[in-house]
């Protein structure tokens, strides 16, 4: 039975489809591992979430880092020098 228009609209609005091709030769180890799990999608999500959790640390902004300087902190005055030489690279 085909999906209803409402379901198609919901899927389009609320999901993202990710597709990847795995090579039978160079990705044989991955294919073998995926063949062992009941839910490939669940397994991949679990691995990604584990990686996210392992790398989660204190996420600090510049405002957090300079919060002790309350009255003397003016981020618009900082020059990181990131734009140095940009003109030369753009004009090539």
Residue 40 sits in which domain range? 5-90
| Local confidence band at 92 (pLDDT 50, 70, 90 cut-offs) | very low
Cα separation, 9 vs 30, whole angstroms = 33
Q: What is the pTM of this model?
A: 0.56
Per-residue pLDDT at 11? 94
pLDDT tens readout for residues 38-79: 999 999 999 999 998 888 776 667 777 666 666 665 656 655
CA–CA distance, 63 with 56 (Å, rounded to integer) = 19
- 3-class DSSP assignment, residue 3: coil
Q: Return the structure tokens found at 65.
A: 């880092």
Please, which residues have CB within 8 angstroms of residue 77's CB and are 6 or more apart in sequence? Answer: none
**Tally of domains within the chain:** 1
Q: What share of the chain is helix, strand, coil (3-state, %, to 5)?
A: 55, 0, 45
pLDDT tens string 3-36 = 999 999 999 999 999 999 999 999 999 999 999 9
């Amino acid at each position: 039975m085909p999906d209803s228009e409402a379901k198609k609209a919901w899927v389009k609005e609320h999901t993202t489809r990710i597709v990847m091709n795995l090579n039978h030769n160079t990705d044989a180890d991955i294919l073998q591992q995926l063949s062992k799990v009941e839910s490939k999608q669940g397994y991949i999500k679990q691995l990604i979430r584990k990686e996210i959790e392992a790398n989660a640390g204190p996420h600090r902004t510049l405002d957090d880092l300079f919060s002790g300087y309350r009255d003397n902190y003016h981020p618009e005055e900082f020059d990181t020098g990131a734009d140095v030489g940009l003109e030369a690279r753009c004009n090539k």
